[in-house]
Every structure is written in structure tokens, then in C-alpha cells.
Copies of this chain bind each other. A is one copy, B any other.
Amino acid sequence: MKARNLMVKARNLMVPLTDYLRPESTIKEAVNMLRSAKRDDERVGVKGLPVLDAGGKLVGILSMGDILKAVYPFYMPMMNLGDFTWDGMVESLARQATDRTVDNIMTKNVITIGENDSLMKCVDQMIKNKVHRLPVLDDSNKVVGMLYERDVFFIIVKAMLEEGKDKEK
């Protein structure tokens, strides 16, 4: 029972924290970080990183989606305006956004998970809040890792494919 539990808590599945962003970084710096961040041994680049302040406190999370939102005019979702855009609009807005800093565009309301939380709680948080990655906190609310949708997905896939072999693990 104990051995099995080891596999299914958030801390067993997370990627330990190595890369993170600072709130005062520019978008350029953040983008470089996202592209070069190590996710695990075989892959390079992630879609989102936590933002920690100088004291190591989690203040936000920045993902590719946030960068898209940074160049997306706030009035667009108020109506159906997608048909009235022009070529080069994205690029021109992107150039205007270059000097913005991370704390300007990050998602401030971060959905997190405790390192001892169950896998289903992680799925619950991801689906309810429509996020694809969760910073994992220890008891003192320090970020110790990141839990990615992809890794939860692989656990599910494993259970599906190796149906019945579960007990041996």
C-alpha cells in the first residue's frame, strides 16, 4: 500500500523546480527562458513557468497563453471582432508589447497544489480552473516543483494500457 502511494501524490509526479521567472523581467527575457527551460531529460522548452519574487514567494505564472493575451487587445472579446482584423496586426501589437515586464502580463491568480495532494485533486484543479500546469507547494508554501498536464496524462495512459498489471508496481 505504501509503495503504491508513493507514485500517486503530486510530489512524485512533479518536475522539481529549476527554472522560474522574476516579476521584473522583460517579455524578451521571459521568452528566452520559456524556450530554453529544461522540462525533463528528453525535452527542451516549456509552455509555462512560475514567477517568484526576490524572497522566493510565488507571485504569478507565465505561459505562452499569457504572451498571446499580452498582444490581444482587451476590447476584442467584448464582441465578434475577429473578422475585422488586418494582416500584420499581431506583429505590430507584439512590437508594442516588447518593453512590458512579466508582472504586467502574468496570470496573478495562480492555481497551486500541495505536494501531498492526490492525483485526482490535481486533475480536479486542472479541469475546474482550465489550467495545464500547477506549481506544487510544500507545507511552508514554497514552490518545490511543477506538475504538468502531460505527466498526468501519461499516468492515465499507463493505467489504461497496462490494465490489470497495476498491482505489481
Task: Tell me the A residues contacting B by CB distance below 8 Å.
Answer: 4-5, 8-9, 27-28, 31, 35, 47, 64-65, 67-69, 71-72, 76-77, 81-83, 85-92, 94-95, 97-98, 117-121, 123-128, 130, 132, 149-150, 152-153, 155-157, 159-161, 163-164, 166
Chain B contacts of A161 at CB under 8 A? Answer: 28, 31
Chain B contacts of A72 at CB under 8 A? Answer: 123-124, 127
Pairs A–B under 8 Å by Cβ, sample size 17: A4-B88, A9-B87, A27-B160, A28-B160, A31-B161, A64-B153, A65-B132, A68-B127, A68-B156, A77-B127, A81-B124, A85-B124, A90-B152, A91-B119, A95-B159, A95-B160, A98-B160
In whole Å, how far is A147's beta carbon from the nearest beta carbon of chain B? 12
Chain B contacts of A5 at CB under 8 A? Answer: 87
Main secondary structure of the interface of A (DSSP, over half): helix
Are B91 and A159 within 8 A (Cβ)? yes
Chain B contacts of A98 at CB under 8 A? Answer: 160, 163
CA–CA, A3 and B67, complex, Å: 26
CA–CA, A8 and B85, complex, Å: 12
Chain B contacts of A128 at CB under 8 A? Answer: 76-77, 82
